Amino acid sequence: MLKKQHFFPHLFCFVLLMMSHFVVAQAPLSATPKSEPSPYTITEVVDGLSYPWSLAFLPHDELLVTERSGSLRKITNGQVSEPISGLPEDIYSKSQGGLLDIALHPDYSKNGWIYLSYAAGTDEKNALKIMRAKLVGLTLTEQLVLFSVTPNKDTPVHFAGRMTFLPDTTLLITSGDGFDYREQAQRLDSLLGKIIRINDDGSIPRDNPYIGQNQLPLSESTGSELTNYIYSVGHRNPQGLIYDRDRGLVFSHEHGPAGGDEVNIIDAGKNYGWPVITNGLDYSGARISPFTQYEGMEQPWLDWTPSIAPSGLIVYRGQMFPEFEGDLLVTSLKFKQVYWLHVVNNQVVKQSILWDEIAQRLRDIRLHPDGSVYILTDSAQGKILRISRDD
């Protein structure tokens, strides 16, 4: 992760950031936050991983974990496998690029499909790609690249790359703005700064919200079909994405610049404003936009200013920690903590800090079927930690 840098060349900018505060939608006065967390145990599952980015739970208590440095590994009984073969040869592992998210098909037990997101290409020409494959032993087979973000870019940052499946087995994918290409987050002839929706075979769902709506002039590197992939627009670098089946809602969070990190409820066809509206400043201290609101653009469901650098995201649904039920848990790279967002009537009424004794950059968070929580630490000797309730 490229570190967020905060520059204060003028006292005015410093005062602006010091006066910043959490902007949280308020629930009805009758709502009460959840109780304090239960006693817990933090167990180290494995260590020595090279910048682990995401994991998936396989049957028989096995795990698959991606390493941003470009390897996929299986973990069995606390033992880390050799790198799994069959990954793409064009993985671009630099800065924020590399092997990123992993997701199992909702019908994995029947079809065996594994989905991977990764940065591909070179310094001069790179893009986020999505592939699917099946795992046989320690080898990926039947590999197929389903999707590639267009246009290519020449920056090694802001790939985004999170994935989540919807109930109809379509796949949502977050695409970052490429940092130097932020204006393209508002363009319908670019897939930068978007949330994308594809069918599980890579084809375009017929009910995507922008089908046939591209009225912009197209360059040679794009085409009107790009618009058909778009689910929502106006995103910066969204690295949290989850579908909550109980509420029927998609939650996503994204990195702002110096301030303006956001959590949003994602609706098809909506515009989430970047870079036209933001509560953040540029890293130089300059204003990115004079607007924090604009007609036709969504306000954040939750804003973090100053930034926390959010990474992973889950909605807790399980029996091990009933006090978390229906709430959001978000990992932070910057503050090395887990944020517990207490949700009542679809509004955040309180924020609490969890498990800050870990004291490491946290890359991802996942909910195990048994209700325990798994966390990935972000380092060259990264760990998988399991948080379980004390008996």
The catalytic site residues sit at 158
Rg (CA), the chain: 20
Residue reference for tokens 């046989």? 136
**Which structure tokens are listed for 361?**
């950059």
Return d(Cα 391, Cα 375) in angstroms, integer.
Answer: 20
Contact between 316 and 325 under an 8 Å Cβ cutoff? The reply is yes
> Alpha helix (H) ranges present in the chain?
11-18, 108-111, 225-229
Whole-angstrom distance, CA of residue 147 vs CA of residue 159: 14
| Tokens (6 digits) for 94 | 């630099």
Please provide residue 15's backbone torsions phi and psi, each rounded to the nearest 5 degrees. Answer: -65, -40
Residues 6 or more apart whose CB falls under 8 angstroms from that of 3 comprise: none
Q: Report residue 213 as tokens.
A: 């709506």
List, in sequence order, every residue forming a beta bridge with 366; answer none if it has no partner: 374
Do 310 and 340 touch, CB atoms closer than 8 A?
A: no
Per-residue tokens: 223: 């085409």
Rounded distance, CA 157 to CA 159, Å?
6
